[in-house]
A = this chain, B = another copy of it.
Amino acid sequence: MATDAIRAALIKRLRTSSGISDEDAGEIEALPIAVRHFPAEKPVVRDGERATDCCLIAEGFCARSKTIPNGKRQILSIHIPGEIPDLMSLFLHVMDHDLSTLTPATLGFISHDTLRSLHRRNPNVAEMFWRDTLVDAAMFREWIVNVGQRPAPARLAHVMVELRERLKLIGQIDGTSFDMPLTQEQIGEALGITAVHANRVIKQLRLEGIVELQRGRVTVLDDRKLLELADFDGRYLHQSPVL
């Protein structure tokens, strides 16, 4: 199994976001990783569970979500290869939300013990991972703004543009289209609207010639209109090297 390819995705991401050194990259190369394959729509860790590993996405999409007692679900973030969506479990031992796959996925598990001892040995790496969790938090902040202040069509546009920007970094964009493997139900859960309303909004963006969305794939028809609608300022992604 190409566990090297898995690490490569992570290192590539860290390199653009934190300016990792070759030496530190080496440390990460050496991390023992247990690879597992998951089908689509499978929980990886559940709310309330106590995690012992962190999971690096090698292939496929994942999402984090919370479900409230009345059964409603809110999607908190969408994750792509190279990301470690549950890095927070290293210090927040019991999960306060769910992590599950959206598509069939290949995940690499790294034990908390391994990560902790790497941190103690190499504070540079610790700070890089710390920074990673801070960017995660920055994305949550923007997600709050999205759900709290933008009208539904802008919310959808914003999520699309954010996802596109992140996919760009790992070269997963194909011309004007990219994967966004959510059902309309899930889009609703991400935007804080119902599936019926999500459908209305998707239809509207299609009729206005902004984006086409079918079977989990987005095709941008009018980039200018999309960006304007999305009200997107990517600073919160903190993608430029630390300085």
Question: Which residues of A does B touch, CB under 8 Å?
Answer: 48, 50, 64, 66, 68-70, 72-74, 76, 88, 91-94, 96-97, 119-120, 123, 126-127, 130-131, 133-138, 140-145, 147-150, 191-192, 231, 235-236, 238, 242-243
Q: Pull 11 A–B residue pairs with CB atoms less than 8 Å apart, ordered by A.
A: A68-B150, A74-B145, A76-B141, A92-B131, A92-B138, A97-B141, A120-B123, A133-B133, A133-B134, A136-B137, A144-B144
Q: Which of B50, B133, B192, B243 contacts A130 (CB 8 A)?
A: B133
User: Do B134 and A69 touch (CB < 8 A)?
Assistant: no
A134 to B191, CA, bound (A): 23
Per a CB cutoff under 8 Å, which of B91, B120, B127 touches A134? Answer: B91
- With a cutoff of 8 Å between Cβ atoms, the chain B residues found around residue A94 in the complex are 235, 238
Is B141 in contact with A66, judged by CB distance below 8 angstroms?
yes
Pair B144/A137 contact, Cβ less than 8 Å? no
- B243 & A145 in contact (Cβ 8 Å cutoff): no
Closest chain B CB from A99 CB (angstroms)? 12
* Among candidates B68, B88, B93, residue contacting A137 with C-beta atoms closer than 8 Å: B88
Q: Which residues of B contact A131 (CB under 8 A)?
A: 91-92
Instruction: Please name all residues of chain B whose beta carbon is closer than 8 Å to the beta carbon of A138 when the two chains form the complex.
Output: 88, 92, 96
Report whether A235 and B96 are in contact in the complex, using a CB–CB cutoff of 8 Å: yes
- Known interface pairs A48-B235, A147-B192, A149-B192; 6 further A-B residue pairs with C-beta atoms within 8 A, sorted by A's residue number: A64-B141, A96-B138, A126-B126, A136-B137, A140-B140, A147-B147
Question: Do residues B141 and A133 form an inter-chain contact, with CB atoms below 8 A?
Answer: no
Contacts of A135 in B (CB 8 A): 92
Q: How far is the CA of A141 from the CA of B144 in the complex (A)?
A: 8
**Chain B residues positioned under 8 Å from A143 (CB to CB):** 140, 144
Q: Which residue of B lies closest to A91 (CB)?
A: B131
Closest to A94 in B: B235
| Complex interface: chain B residues within 8 A of A76 (CB) | 141, 144-145
CB distance from A129 to the nearest CB of B (A): 9
Q: Is the CB of B243 within 8 A of A93?
A: yes
Q: Are B91 and A127 in contact (CB under 8 A)?
A: yes
Residue of B66, B70, B120 touching A142 (CB-CB under 8 A): B66
What's the least CB distance linking A71 to chain B, in Å? Answer: 10
Cα A69 to Cα B192 with chains together (Å) = 21
CB distance from A35 to the nearest CB of B (A): 26
